[in-house]
A and B are shown apart, each in its own frame.
Chain A
C-alpha cells in the first residue's frame, strides 16, 4: 500500500513538474473567475519578471 501511494505521489509530482507552465497558465486564466482580470494580469507580470530574473 505504501509503495502504491509513493508511486502515485511520484507520478503526480512528475506530471505537475513537467507540465508546470500549462497548469500555471490555466490557474491564471481560470483564476480570473475568483479574483478578477486585474489580479490575473498582476500575477502574469510578476511571473514573467521572475522568470527573466531567476530562470
Chain B
C-alpha cells in the first residue's frame, strides 16, 4: 500500500494501489504507533479470543462435572463439539488472519512482528516462517504454475485433482515432503528453519505437558481440522477452475466471493482476485479496491460468486451436478 515494490522474496514486481493515501505520513506516524494500520487491532483481538477459546476448552476438560461429562459418551460429545469449533477458528486465525500479517505485518516493530507471528501460528500447528514461505514465496510468486505446490495437483486437462484427495493428502504429508527438501537446500535457510522449528515445537508442546490425552483431542485434532477442512478447502475453492495469469486472461487466476457476511467475518478474504493482484493492499481496504476494479473484472470475465468459501467447498466436494453450480456466475457480474 503506497509503497510500490516487490512483494515477497521470490515475488514479481507489482505496483500497489494506494487506497488510503497514507504513504506520505506513514513513516512519521509509525514512530508513534504500535499497530501498522488502525484496523489491525481486530487481528489481535481475533487471535486472543481464539487462544481464550482453547484455554476455556482445556479448563472445562479438566473439570468434567462442570459441563455435565458423566461418562465416555458425554466426554466424546464435548470433545467433538470443542475440537470442531477450535479447528474452525484456528483455520481462520492462521489461514486468513495471520495470512494478512504475512503480507502486511500488523506491528510497526520488526521484533514484535516476528514474536507475535510465532505466537500466532503455533495454535494452528505451523511455524510462522514455514507458513510465510509456503504462502508468499511459493503460492503468490508462482500462482497456478507448476512451481506452486501449495495448490492441488492438476489433471491432464488442467482441472484440479479430486477435492477430498487434496484435503487429506496435502497437510501435513505433501507439505512436509516439499518443505524438508526446499528448506534444507541452502545453509542459511536450513539454520533459520531449524531455529523456527525448535521454537515452534517448544510452544506447540505446552498442552502436552499439561495433559497428553487432552492435548491429542483438544489441540492436535483441532489443528488437523483447521489445516485439512478449513485451510485446505479454502485453497482449493479460491483457485478451482482458474488459469495462470496471461495477457489474454489477466483476471482468471482466482475466484471472487462477494458474500457480505463471509467477508465481514473472514477479513475480506473473499476478494481473492483483488488480493492476488495487490497483495499488499490492507485487508480492510479490499472492498474499496473491489469497487474500483469491478468493471475491469466484469469485462475480463472474472469468476464471481455470491457466497463464500464454505458453500463453495460444499459444491466442489459434491457430484458433477453440484460442481457445475460452482461455475455459475453471480448475476451482478455478468458482462452484457
Chain A contacts to B: CB under 8 angstroms: 14-15, 17-26, 28-30, 32-33, 36-38, 40-41, 43-44, 48, 51-55
**Is B20 on the interface with A (CB-CB < 8 A)?**
no
Alpha-carbon distance between A52 and B315 when the two chains are bound, in angstroms: 9
Alpha-carbon distance between A34 and B7 when the two chains are bound, in angstroms: 49
Question: Are A53 and B42 within 8 A (Cβ)?
Answer: no
Identify whether the interface residues of A are mostly helix, strand, loop, or mixed.
Answer: helix
Given A22-B52, A26-B52, A48-B88, 15 further pairs, Cβ under 8 A: A17-B265, A18-B46, A18-B264, A19-B49, A21-B88, A22-B50, A25-B86, A33-B60, A36-B68, A37-B77, A43-B81, A44-B84, A51-B311, A54-B311, A55-B259
Instruction: Please name all residues of chain A whose beta carbon is closer than 8 Å to the beta carbon of B74 when the two chains form the complex.
Output: 36-38
Question: Are A25 and B89 within 8 A (Cβ)?
Answer: yes
Question: Are A32 and B42 within 8 A (Cβ)?
Answer: no
Instruction: Please name all residues of chain B whose beta carbon is closer than 8 Å to the beta carbon of A24 when the two chains form the complex.
Output: 85
What 4 pairs between A and B have smallest CB-CB spacing? A22-B49, A37-B78, A25-B85, A36-B68
Alpha-carbon distance between A13 and B60 when the two chains are bound, in angstroms: 28
Shortest beta-carbon distance from B322 to chain A in Å: 11
**Is B80 on the interface with A (CB-CB < 8 A)?**
yes
Question: Are B308 and A23 within 8 A (Cβ)?
Answer: no
Question: Are B85 and A17 within 8 A (Cβ)?
Answer: no
Write the chain A residue with the least CB distance to B315: A52
Write the chain B residue with the least CB distance to A14: B42
Contacting A18 at CB < 8 Å: which of B84, B259, B265, B308? B265
Question: Are A21 and B80 within 8 A (Cβ)?
Answer: no
Shortest beta-carbon distance from B15 to chain A in Å: 29
Question: Are B49 and A40 within 8 A (Cβ)?
Answer: no
Question: Are A19 and B45 within 8 A (Cβ)?
Answer: yes
Instruction: Please name all residues of chain A whose beta carbon is closer than 8 Å to the beta carbon of B57 when the two chains form the complex.
Output: 29
Write the chain B residue with the least CB distance to A38: B77
Instruction: Please name all residues of chain B whose beta carbon is closer than 8 Å to the beta carbon of A53 when the two chains form the complex.
Output: 311, 314
Instruction: Please name all residues of chain B whose beta carbon is closer than 8 Å to the beta carbon of A20 when the two chains form the complex.
Output: 264-265
Question: Are A55 and B81 within 8 A (Cβ)?
Answer: no
Question: Are B53 and A22 within 8 A (Cβ)?
Answer: yes
**Is B267 on the interface with A (CB-CB < 8 A)?**
yes
Write the chain A residue with the least CB distance to B265: A20
- Residues A18 and B52 in contact in the complex (CB < 8 Å), given A41-B80, A52-B310, A55-B310: no
**Is B67 on the interface with A (CB-CB < 8 A)?**
yes
Alpha-carbon distance between A20 and B67 when the two chains are bound, in angstroms: 23
Question: Are A21 and B265 within 8 A (Cβ)?
Answer: yes
Alpha-carbon distance between A27 and B175 when the two chains are bound, in angstroms: 33
Instruction: Please name all residues of chain A whose beta carbon is closer than 8 Å to the beta carbon of B85 when the two chains form the complex.
Output: 24-25, 28-29, 44
Contacting A40 at CB < 8 Å: which of B45, B78, B93? B78
Alpha-carbon distance between A25 and B82 when the two chains are bound, in angstroms: 8
**Is B129 on the interface with A (CB-CB < 8 A)?**
no
The residue among B49, B56, B69, B74 with the most chain A CB atoms within 10 A of its own CB is: B49
